[in-house]
């Protein structure tokens, strides 16, 4: 999960990791509609800090991900157990940047899990998981339970 409730994100990577205009729009709209109504404060960082302390919290990229996944999220700079100074969200190219998958991968960046990793454990397709269902539908929103989990932590 990110290291505090002020979440700075960047999505203008260059070269093969750059998001197209439509993908950027999906991310901006998803963050505004799904995560801004929580206790997280969401900011776009036009001059990202990529190393050292106080790094930009979430870097969105487009590119290859491992295995058969369409999206993948990893901690690029851990600062404590389960706490990350910078997280990378990478989603496959070719039309996979959809609101549901973007919401799902962002959920990992702020500490949300799949149902099998939740407490209490849930079926991976339990509707209470909202966009954290696995697999995720293109338009599935965050959901009230996940908003409550974010607000309880941050």
Which residue positions in the chain have pLDDT lower than 50? none
pLDDT at 16: 87
Decide if 10 is inside a domain.
Answer: yes
pLDDT at 125: 94
Decide if 121 is inside a domain.
Answer: no
Over the chain, what HEC string results?
CECCCEEEEECCCCHHHCCCHHHHHHHHHHHHHHHCCCCCEEEECCCCCCCCCCCCCEEEEECCCCCCCCEEEEEEEEEECCEEEEEEEEECCCCCCCHHHHHHHHHHHCCCCCHHHCCCCCCCCCHHHHHHCCCCCCCCCCCHHHHHHHHHHC
Per-residue pLDDT tens for 89-114? Answer: 999 999 999 999 999 999 999 999 99
CATH of the domain at 31: 3.40.390.10
Decide if 135 is inside a domain.
Answer: no
Per-residue pLDDT tens for 26-40? Answer: 999 999 999 999 999
């Amino acid at each position: 999960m990110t290291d505090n409730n002020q979440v700075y994100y960047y999505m203008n990577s260059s070269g093969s990791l750059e998001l197209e205009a439509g993908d950027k729009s999906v991310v901006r709209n998803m963050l505004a509609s799904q995560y801004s109504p929580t206790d997280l404060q969401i900011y776009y960082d036009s001059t990202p800090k990529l190393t050292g302390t106080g790094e930009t919290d979430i870097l969105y990229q487009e590119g290859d991900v491992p295995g058969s996944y369409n999206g993948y999220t990893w901690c690029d700079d851990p600062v404590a157990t389960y706490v990350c100074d910078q997280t990378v969200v990478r989603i496959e190219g070719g039309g996979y940047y959809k609101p549901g998958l973007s919401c799902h991968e962002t959920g990992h960046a702020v500490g949300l899990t799949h149902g099998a990793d939740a407490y209490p454990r849930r079926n991976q397709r339990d509707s209470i998981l909202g966009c954290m269902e696995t697999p995720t539908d293109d338009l599935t929103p965050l959901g009230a339970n996940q908003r409550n989990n974010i607000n309880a932590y941050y």
